[in-house]
Amino acid sequence: MKKKNSLKSLNSFGLDVYAEDFYSIENLNDLFKILKTNPPNLFILGGGTNILFTKDVDGIVLHINLKGVEILNENEKFSKVKVSAGENWHDFVLWSIERNLGGLENLSLIPGNVGTAPIQNIGAYGVELKDSFISCEAVNLLTLEIETFTKIECKFGYRDSIFKSEKKGEYIIISVTFKLTNKNHKIRTSYGDLKKQLEKNNIKYPTIKDISEAVTMIRKSKLPDPKILGNSGSFFKNPIIDKKTFSKIIKQFPNIPRYEVSNDEIKIPAGWLIEKAGFKGKKLKTCGVHENQALVLVNYGDATGNEILKLSELIQKSINTIFGVKLEREVNVV
């Protein structure tokens, strides 16, 4: 345990906040020992890539650093893989691709750890975590029992799950199990940027490795490295609106990009809305909107979480005024 531990290196915004008490959890014995001997004033920290600290953290911070990847079983078509919560997400994606295990390639280079991925139901380029998810193990903080949650029980939604809503703060995810393909991989290239990158790479019939490399190139070209410029990737969700609302917007903005979600719903890129509202590349004191990707808010060095939060609120207010669309934060604010 460390007293007054700085969390600056453990959050991708690089915000200089402190924890009253701090534990790095590397095995389940230590986890249960701490849970049994401490009050429930706990803050669970994973990869620190989807969080905005606006203050120091009272009580105990548990940094989940459990490691391990195991193939539970496999057959001609599929492999069932169990991954500990502290494994880096992108490293696990690369691990799967090296073994020709398909399903996660479109999710390459998403920051964070495996244990926090189900909470957010991470997604990119037409794929979401739930597409390959089987189950996860989580410790119930009230009973201290390990429970298993199936895909249905997780209640996955767009960047949402039961762990982010009705069960928020009640569980610690310790492992996630995936079903990955061994052959006949489902190659998904529906998103325009991905198609363009594959064409640029002169690839007509992409493999899962080609998809991963293309996605990685795209993300590197658009998203700043948190180690160089503090950020949490996409700060806002892409809004999903009804067609009636969309019909009003398209009259004023006929070139607005969109993706049909259902017969009644349309998804609009939040980055496009923010750019149209004039925020792309805008700098406010020590924070701002990234010059290459309007969906990314950045810390230029000495920003506070509250300064970044106020910028996000200004953007939300402007988008609602201009387009009549409410932007939701993807990032968790503490």
The residue ranges of DSSP E strands in the chain, in sequence order, are 2-6, 18-25, 42-45, 51-52, 57-64, 69-74, 78-84, 123-124, 127-128, 133-140, 146-150, 171-181, 230-231, 240-242, 259-260, 265-267, 283-284, 287-289, 297-299, 332-333
Q: Could you give the angle at the alpha carbon of 172 between the alpha carbons of 136 and 90, nearest 5°?
A: 60
Annotated catalytic residue, options 87, 128, 307, 330: 330
Establish whether 213 is a catalytic residue: no
Q: Which residues contact 77 (CB under 8 A, 6 or more apart)?
A: 181, 182, 183, 184
Structure tokens at 259: 């993706």
Distance (Å, whole) CA 153 – CA 160: 13
3-state SS record for 19-73: EEEEEEECCHHHHHHHHHHCCCCEEEECCCCCEECCCCEEEEEEEECCCCEEEEE
159 catalytic? Reply is yes
Looking at 159, 212, 219, 307, which residue is catalytic?
Answer: 159
* Tokens representing residue 101 in the block: 């295990």
Q: Find all residues with CB under 8 Å of 197, minimum gap 6, and list them.
A: 214, 215, 217, 218
Q: Measure the CA–CA gap between 306 and 296, rounded to whole angstroms.
A: 16
Active-site hit among 84, 232, 234, 312: 234
Tokens of 192: 């325009």
Active site residue 234: yes
What are phi and psi for residue 212, nearest 5 degrees? -60, -45
Query: What amino acid positions are annotated as catalytic residues?
Result: 159, 234, 330
